[in-house]
Structure 1
Amino acid sequence: MISRRALFLLMGFFASSIPSTASAAEPFDEAGFAAAQAAGRPIIVEVTAPWCPICKTQRPILKALSEQTRFKNLAIYEIDFDTQKALMRRFGARMQSTLIVFKGGEEVGRSVGETQGEWIESLVEKAL
């Protein structure tokens, strides 16, 4: 019987051989995040993992939203589920595929595992 850990390692291996969809997110940067909050920009913190199929579904939706005129000031920061545990604790995220939305310095919404474009869009609209 194959262990869960071995299964996830295999999934990560095969997922890494598939080209990923371009992302609108940038790696989480403390100074950039603080500046975006101070400027009152809408912000999404995306907790993602390279092996996560839900994250791969969310990525093109977020990219498409970031290209719309009404979301032109949207800042998207990515936290890696596997390597950035301290940031996950800071934001209270427990799973990959978590989207946390801020309007300036205030959290205004959160979603885990959402893949419906309309629902993700309505979540992001809370930050406007």
Structure 2
Amino acid sequence: MKHLKPQARENTVLKMLLKGFFLLTFLGASASAFAGTQPYNKAQFDGALAHGKPVVIWFHASWCPTCRAQQPAVDRLATSSEMKDVTVFVADFDKETALEKALRVAQQSTFVVFRGGREVARSTGETDEQAIRATWGKAL
């Protein structure tokens, strides 16, 4: 850009900045369209249920080998276009004891699925992606 006149250099820099801005905006919109998982938050969970949104809660523990085996499938499904309307909360099995009690969840690696504010499906220990997809699909 050294060989450009000052005005042309400013225009080139401005164009580069605008392209960068639009690229970041596009990437941000794409990321929000396929948000993936989010940590469990009582207020957000209660709000989603109150509005009848499709919700999955995954009771996860970092020390759990089954949870580690589920992780790749969860990541793929949570960001897939078919599950874009499903909010996936990850509840820490070691910390969310009140939620576990309320939902009668006895062990980690459990998915609890809600549609229309009501529980419609549940799965514990499942690692097969197709089976997890089928369980989550009941939220839709």
Using the size of structure 1 for normalisation, the TM-score is 0.76
Aligned identity (percent) is 37
Give secondary structure in 2 for the equivalent of 1:94. coil
Matches within 5 A, 1:27-66: 27-66=39-78
- Write the letter of the residue equivalent to 1:46: W
Q: Secondary structure of the equivalent of 1:34? A: helix
Most deviating of 29-38 and 85-94: 29-38
> Out of 91, 105, 117, which is 1:79 matched to?
91
- Bigger Rg over Cα: 2
Amino acid at match of 1:56: R
Q: Which has the higher helix share?
A: 2
Structure 2: which 5+ runs fail to align? 1-35
Deviation at 1:67, TM superposition (A): 1.7
The match for 2:105 is 93
- In 1, distance between residues paired with 2:116 and 2:72? 24
Shift of 1:47: 0.7
**Structure 2 SS opposite 1:107:** strand
Corresponding letter in the other structure for 1:49:
A
How many residues align structurally? 106
RMSD, aligned α-carbons: 1.5
- Structure 1 equivalent of residue 128 of structure 2: 116
The runs of at least 4 aligned residues of structure 1 exceeding 6 Å deviation read none
2:130 corresponds to 1:102? no
Provide TM-score, normalisation by structure 2. 0.70
Q: Is the 8 A contact 2:37 2:78 kept in 1?
A: no
